[in-house]
Amino acid sequence: MIELSEARNYVLAGCRTNETIVVPLNDALGCITAEAIVAAEQVPPFANTAVDGYALIADDTANVPATLRVTGTVRAGMSGADSPVEPGCAVRIMTGAPVPPGATAIVMVEDTEGSPEGDVVVVTASAKPGQHIRPAGDDVNPGDPVITVGTELTPAHLGVLATIGVTHIAVVRRPIVGVISTGDELVDDGSPLAPGQIRDSNRLTLRKLLESHGFETVDLGLARDDEQVIEDAMRAGAESCDAIVTTGGVSMGDFDYVKVVLDRIGDMRWMQIAIKPAKPLAFGTLTRSNGTAVPLFGLPGNPVSSMVSYELFCRPGLRKMSGFSKDDLDVGIVQGVLTEPLKRRSDGKTHFARVVCGWDDSSSTYTVRSAGAQGSHHMAAMAAANALAELPDGETLAAGSTVRVRLLRP
């Protein structure tokens, strides 16, 4: 067996960062930026009001109640220049509207009395200069750095870019991932099972995992146990995808057509890793017709093992291809405290227990408990889990022990 760190380093070394492309903002969510963005305009572009109310001269409200004559109205999208504020007067104004010339403050409607349509307004609270006015450039000014290279674009980032007029941005292209299942024993059409058959759940599970993490997927289908069929599917996947994920046929002693084919057409390493579950892993590359190397992840066939292997190897490798830095390849690593014992025995392996992780406000700690049965075929417990607890080699961990936890979802 090899250590987890060695296997991960080998996988990551075979995953190269994709090229840079320019995409519309609408398609950039979750991408890693390949350029820095500097603002060319100010935000907001003009002084505007933060509230509905009246624009006025703050000194006119030194003594309240103060009765002022209403001389105009400014709504969002209008020019305030047509409704200047003079001493003893006020202008009705709506949130986001430009502050008219002469105004030094805004009072909220709640601090006034009188009809909104009336010619006068009674101000009941004194205003301070600048009150409720958002100055031009209060958020961003020309020359301000807005986005740096290597930023994972969130909805807020896209909103900032939109406010300064950016419509396209250079990012690292996210990989397209093909997923394939092989085996005569697998069925995926919902039909009654014949003796010896099982339902193919891994392909759907892995595709949805990939998609939930921002990767585009291609369903390469279910290939029967025929070398030519498997080779055709693998070669087609290499031509159309940036990476390929398969499940099954990677254990020691397996005689599997996938091994035969990949040993012939790929550059593969078949590994036995000192972890449980997900001990077997195959990783290597297929070569496209243009000479490009396409990473191939051969994950175990047991459903829980395939998901654990995906989190430990496949997802970090694909994040590297997407442009994430080496410090951001793993997601959601926290320290948690066991609320109950987690059973295990010393076997030279690191165990990844399926657990439920929560937050305890009183102690400001993450809490960890078992999600149920820990067999590599127990998908019900995997579905109940929201995290994997990393248990070092040794005996049962007692309640109160601190463990490293990998969050699977928020």
For 60-85, the pLDDT digits (tens) are 999 999 999 999 999 999 988 889 99
Q: Which of 158, 170, 164 is nearest to 33 (CA)?
A: 170
Range 5-19 average pLDDT: 97
Instruction: Map tokens 């979750």 to a residue.
Output: 30
Q: What distances in angstroms separate CA 367 from CA 22, 336, 353, 398, one per listed residue?
A: 43, 5, 14, 13
- Please report the pLDDT score of residue 253 as a whole number: 59
CA 311 to CA 109: how far, in whole Å? 54
Neighbours of 390 (CB within 10 A): 17
The pLDDT-based confidence of 220 (bands split at 50, 70, 90) is: very high
Range 57-61 average pLDDT: 97
Going by DSSP bridges, is the β-strand pair 66-74/89-93 parallel, antiparallel, or unpaired? parallel
For 176-197, the pLDDT digits (tens) are 999 998 888 888 888 888 888 8
What is the pTM (predicted TM-score) of this model? 0.89
For 319-362, the pLDDT digits (tens) are 999 999 999 999 999 999 999 999 999 999 999 999 999 999 99
Is the confidence at residue 406, as pLDDT, over 90?
yes
Is the confidence at residue 94, as pLDDT, over 60?
yes
The dihedral region occupied by 216, where left means phi > 0, alpha psi between -120 and 50, and beta the remainder, is beta
Is the peptide bond between 277 and the residue preceding it cis, with omega within 30 degrees of 0? yes
Which of 115-124, 366-375, 398-407 bottoms out in mean pLDDT, i.e. has the lowest?
115-124
Residue boundaries of the structural domains of the chain: 4-18+174-328, 20-43+139-172, 48-134, 333-407
Range 363-376 average pLDDT: 94
CA 302 to CA 244: how far, in whole Å? 18
CATH superfamily of 4-18+174-328: MoaB/Mog-like domain (3.40.980.10)
- Please report the pLDDT score of residue 190 as a whole number: 84
Tell me which of 385 and 117 has the higher pLDDT.
385
Q: 333-407 has which CATH code?
A: 2.40.340.10
CATH superfamily of 20-43+139-172: Molybdopterin biosynthesis moea protein, domain 2 (3.90.105.10)
Range 36-55 average pLDDT: 96
For 196-218, the pLDDT digits (tens) are 888 888 999 999 999 999 999 99
Is the confidence at residue 58, as pLDDT, over 90?
yes
CA 60 to CA 131: how far, in whole Å? 14
CATH class entry, domain 48-134: mainly beta
Percent of the chain with pLDDT over 70: 99
Neighbours of 157 (CB within 10 A): 20
Is the peptide bond between 65 and the residue preceding it cis, with omega within 30 degrees of 0? yes
Residue 389: HSE in the Cβ half-sphere, 13 Å Cα cutoff: 32
Q: Which of 251, 277, 303 is nearest to 390 (CA)?
A: 277
Q: What mean pLDDT, rounded, does the chain reach?
A: 94
Is the confidence at residue 255, as pLDDT, over 60?
no
